[in-house]
Amino acid sequence: MPHRIPLPFGPTLADRVAGKTVLITGASSGIGRALSLRVAAAGATVIVTARRISELDQLVAEIQAQGGKAHALPSDLSTAEGIDKLADQVLIEFGAPDILVNNAGRSIWRSVAESEHRLHDFERTMRINYFGPVGLMLRLLPEMRRRGSGHIVSSSSLGVITDIPRFSAYVGSKAALEAVMRIAANECHGDGVLFTDVRIPLVATDMSAALGWNGYKALSTAAAANMLTDAIIDRPAHLENLHGALSIWFNRVMPDLARYGLNQLHRMLPEETTRPSPTPKPTAESPTPTLVPALAHD
């Protein structure tokens, strides 16, 4: 079922993207892949980027086989060098995209209490979820402003407004990105550049299935892509589903009850003790234990 009911007199996805250039990060799988296929079918020239080159090539081939236009630019947005390399390629070959969709990301599922000596979990999450999209925006926004048009869409999290347990690293990075997006929107008001945060709930993927959220209804990949297409079509400052809208209301009207309920949820969820000893100095590349997985979409 689509996330929104299209109005007979409103714009369509084709109205927004046909003949336009759309850059989508984290496009090799999941939500980014689904969105890339959708906007390409609507007439956009899609620039897809991620670290996995073979998956990007397969996506481009599929889009082109369906008569669409797509280009693959592999990148690693977890480093400043990777951000600059991608931005340079995009600006030289295509100019600033008409629409930038910041979709690449990763999530760590672990409570604050079990995160002692694991600052690297927060650091690597911030690199991809925050510094990656912010760095790309800093490079592409000036040309959008000079041109007088552009739309920056970022995949955020429903957790930003629900404070869901175990996702402090992930939600913290998304909340920081939302703050930058809000300030950029204020500074660019009247310049023709729009900004949208899409607060996506937990999405059903192979990795999220291992989180232990038994009984929690996760959003499908297609439904999550629907939310991003809604954002491109309607261009709101923020977009969340009905669950998100109800959560905002509930947190404002009954904050103590909301906090109690979330604490009870936290206590019901299983948790593996993963604290390393104080002696080792974990690096940004330290592995995440498989029983408490990291989610990523790139």
Candidates 126, 94, 85; CA nearest to 23 is 94
Would the CA dihedral through 177, 102, 250, 211 be positive or negative?
negative
Question: Amino acid identity of 245?
Answer: A
Q: Do 252 and 235 form a contact (C-beta atoms < 8 A)?
A: no
Task: Print the SS3 string covering 169-227.
Answer: HHHHHHHHHHHHHHHHHHHCCCCCEEEEEEEECCECCCCHHHHCCCCCCCECHHHHHHH
How far apart are the C-alpha atoms of 22 and 35, rounded to whole Å?
10
Q: How far apart are the C-alpha atoms of 93 and 143, rounded to whole Å?
A: 14
Task: Name the residues annotated as catalytic.
Answer: 170
| CA-based radius of gyration for the chain | 19
CB-based burial, 207-223: b 16+ in 10 Å, e otherwise:
bbeebbbeeeebbebeb
Q: Which two tokens stand for residue 182?
A: 């809000």
Sort strands 69-72 and 45-49 into parallel, antiparallel or unpaired.
Answer: parallel
Contact 66, 89 (CB under 8 A): no
Tokens 């592409």 belong to: 140
Beta strands in the chain (DSSP E): 21-25, 45-49, 69-72, 99-102, 105-108, 150-157, 193-200, 238-240, 294-297
Handedness of CA 220, 26, 177, 146 (dihedral sign): negative
